[in-house]
Amino acid sequence: MKILFIGESWHIHMIHSKGFDSFTSSKYEEGADYLLSCLRQGNIDVDYMPAHIVQTRFPHTAEALACYDAIVISDIGSNTFLLQNRTFYNMDIIPDALQLIADYVAEGGGLLMIGGYLSFT
């Protein structure tokens, strides 16, 4: 079985204010390690696509998605799929990623949506 696991990553940007002084810090985190480890221990082939990678690497064709038995979407908002970099910055018209997923499922592909802070938006 081959799965495309999407999401479960985030960037944190903080502003620290101390009187008149302030500074910023940022960090990147992933929350999928345990689940990915369990899947891989079960001999499931997993391609992990962190949320920020969707912008440049999400498949743009049904054929590219067809190599997966299932797609797992975890804690990632719909705008990440709908406003990809090519559309947002260059106004390029590209295939609707959510429609590609819907078509993939209609053709028999599996889909698991795991809830999180940005899920189902």
What is the tens place of the pLDDT at every residue in 27-54? 999 999 999 999 999 999 999 999 999 9
Question: pLDDT per residue over 61-71, tens digit each?
Answer: 999 999 999 99
83 within some domain: yes
- At residue 88, φ and ψ (nearest 5 deg) are -65, -45
pLDDT value of position 119 = 63
Question: pLDDT per residue over 74-108, tens digit each?
Answer: 988 888 898 888 888 888 888 899 999 999 999 99
Query: What's the total number of domains in the chain?
Result: 1
121 within some domain: no
119 within some domain: no
Question: Which residues contact residue 34 at a Cβ distance below 8 angstroms, ignoring those fewer than 6 apart?
Answer: none
Residue 53 token pair = 């990678």
Judge whether residue 121 has pLDDT over 70.
no
21 within some domain: yes
Burial of 8 per CB tally in 10 Å (0-12, 13-18, 19+): buried
59: pLDDT confidence band, cut at 50, 70 and 90? very high
pLDDT value of position 118 = 59
120 within some domain: no
Alpha-carbon distance of 43 to 65, in angstroms, equals 20
CATH number at residue 76: 3.40.50.880
By the 8 A CB rule, do 7 and 73 touch?
A: yes
9 within some domain: yes
- At residue 45, φ and ψ (nearest 5 deg) are -80, 120
∠ CA 82-86-91, rounded to 5°: 90
By the 8 A CB rule, do 2 and 39 touch?
A: no
Structural domain of 35:
2-114
pLDDT value of position 77 = 86
8 within some domain: yes
Q: How many CA atoms lie within 13 A of 41 on its CB side?
A: 6
pLDDT value of position 78 = 87
